[in-house]
Amino acid sequence: MEISTGMIPGAKRIVLYGPEGIGKSTFASKFPDPVFIDTEGSTNAMDVARFTADFSEWDTILEAADEALKSGNMKTLVIDTLDWAEQACIRKLNKAHNTDNILTLDYGKGSLFVVAEFEKLLTRLTKLIDKGINVVLVAHAAMRKQELPDEMGAFDRWELKLQSKQVKAMVKEWGDMVLFANYKTIVIEDDKTKSKKAQGGKRVLYTQHRPTWDAKNRYGLDECIPFEYEAIAKIIEAKAKTAAPKKEKPKKEEKPEAKKEETRPEVKKLSELMEKDGISLNRLLFAVCKKTQNFTATTLEGLDPDFIRNSLIDKWDKFVGYAKKFTEAEVESMEVPFE
């Protein structure tokens, strides 16, 4: 098992929520090659790719996610909106369990049913992520009163407009980014009267959790960034990490086998004579050196062919007698050129 370091770029799980009309669908349309599962008709006036079906039925939403898995060209799937998709899920369960509101069943059984059913969608979306397809879940925002036991009073808090608390928690945990889109009000103070006046506001994205809203990101984004796709484009479009090519050790250059030279006839004949009379190479070369007094060969092949034929082979009996007169000690002790 190997250990790696550093970021691993890949497809992203984005949860985007905010008040109506702020531009969530337009923002989602800026992602690479998006295809929409439009559950509420929010893209009717937009020039975008979309699945065409009646997404008031939960099973149709699951079927569209399955179709997205088969796609070869899609780079981003957008579900717009997630809260309407949850409503379709709850309607199916209400009908299956013959109740007006599955979430009110005793002992929290209804919530478990909703979570189990909604997990079917998240499982499909996770497979899309694994395939390299971004997923953007667009949702409305809802404001509710938040009271903390240790604090005096209450305050308003923005959160995902989902009916099931368990589904809400599951979606927030699933996302790599939970982005809250809202208007940032600009307050101007009058120099003379010191009165404060709210003047307009600009659209922003909040990327970090605060007591007054849910948000998170895993990429070190500033707490507040412009509500523009370009603000997160580098993160979304980071290229998937490819394994570095394995460096192969350079092959040792194989030296071509030395072409075996055929033994010269005179060398072959001399070798046969040496073997017959028990004359070693050292003894023969020693005797040649002593006889000629001018010798540098260290092998039989190094001897002149004419010398082998005329002075050794033709006069072998005489040369053998000369070579054998030297003792082993003399052959070993005397310094000669071939040693």
| Judgement on whether residues 174 and 211 belong to the same structural domain of the protein | yes
Q: Is 96 within the bounds of a domain?
A: yes
Domain that holds residue 135: 13-236
| Judgement on whether residues 182 and 304 belong to the same structural domain of the protein | no
Q: Is 246 within the bounds of a domain?
A: no
Q: Could you read off the pLDDT of 290-317 as tens digits, one per residue? A: 777 655 567 777 788 888 888 888 988 9
Q: Is 52 within the bounds of a domain?
A: yes
Q: Which of 105-109, 231-235, 256-260 has the weakest average pLDDT?
A: 256-260
Which pLDDT band holds residue 241 (cuts at 50, 70, 90)? Answer: very low
- What DSSP state is assigned to residue 310? I
| Judgement on whether residues 213 and 305 belong to the same structural domain of the protein | no
For 89, residues 6+ apart whose C-beta sits below 8 A from its C-beta are 58, 114, 117, 118, 121
Which pLDDT band holds residue 173 (cuts at 50, 70, 90)? Answer: very high
| Judgement on whether residues 33 and 167 belong to the same structural domain of the protein | yes
Q: Is 95 within the bounds of a domain?
A: yes
How far is CA 33 from each of CA 28, 30, 75, 98, rounded to the nearest angstrom? 10, 8, 5, 41
Mean pLDDT of 183-208: 77
Which pLDDT band holds residue 228 (cuts at 50, 70, 90)? Answer: very high
Distance CA 227, CA 213 (A): 16
Residue that terminates a domain, selected from 236, 257, 281 = 236
Q: Which of 39-48, 183-192, 311-320 has the weakest average pLDDT?
A: 183-192
Q: Is 67 within the bounds of a domain?
A: yes
| Res. 280: pLDDT tops 90 | no
What CATH number corresponds to the domain at position 133? 3.40.50.300
Mean pLDDT of 8-12: 85
| Judgement on whether residues 216 and 325 belong to the same structural domain of the protein | no
pLDDT of residue 125: 97
pLDDT of residue 201: 76
| Judgement on whether residues 182 and 51 belong to the same structural domain of the protein | yes
Q: Is 323 within the bounds of a domain?
A: yes
Q: Which of 125-129, 233-237, 286-290 has the weakest average pLDDT?
A: 286-290
| Judgement on whether residues 217 and 307 belong to the same structural domain of the protein | no
| Judgement on whether residues 80 and 26 belong to the same structural domain of the protein | yes
Comparing CA positions, the residue from 124, 159, 127, 121 lying closest to residue 140 is 159
Bridge partners of residue 224, in order along the sequence: 206
CB 139 within 8 A of CB 160: yes
Query: Model-level pTM greater than 0.85?
Result: no
pLDDT of residue 253: 60
Which pLDDT band holds residue 255 (cuts at 50, 70, 90)? Answer: low
Query: What region does 21 belong to: left with phi over 0, alpha with psi -120 to 50, or beta?
Result: left
| Judgement on whether residues 90 and 215 belong to the same structural domain of the protein | yes
User: How many folded domains does the chain comprise?
Assistant: 2
Bridge partners of residue 213, in order along the sequence: 158, 210
Residue that terminates a domain, selected from 236, 254, 276 = 236
- What DSSP state is assigned to residue 141? E
Q: Is 149 within the bounds of a domain?
A: yes
Residue that terminates a domain, selected from 236, 256, 276 = 236
Q: Is 200 within the bounds of a domain?
A: yes
pLDDT of residue 297: 64
| Judgement on whether residues 178 and 274 belong to the same structural domain of the protein | no
Torsion, Cα 64 70 76 79, to 10 degrees, reads 10
Q: Could you read off the pLDDT of 109-161 as tens digits, one per residue? A: 889 999 999 999 999 999 999 999 999 999 999 998 877 665 556 778 899 99
| Judgement on whether residues 45 and 100 belong to the same structural domain of the protein | yes
Q: Could you read off the pLDDT of 95-114 as tens digits, one per residue? A: 999 999 999 888 788 899 99
| Judgement on whether residues 226 and 306 belong to the same structural domain of the protein | no
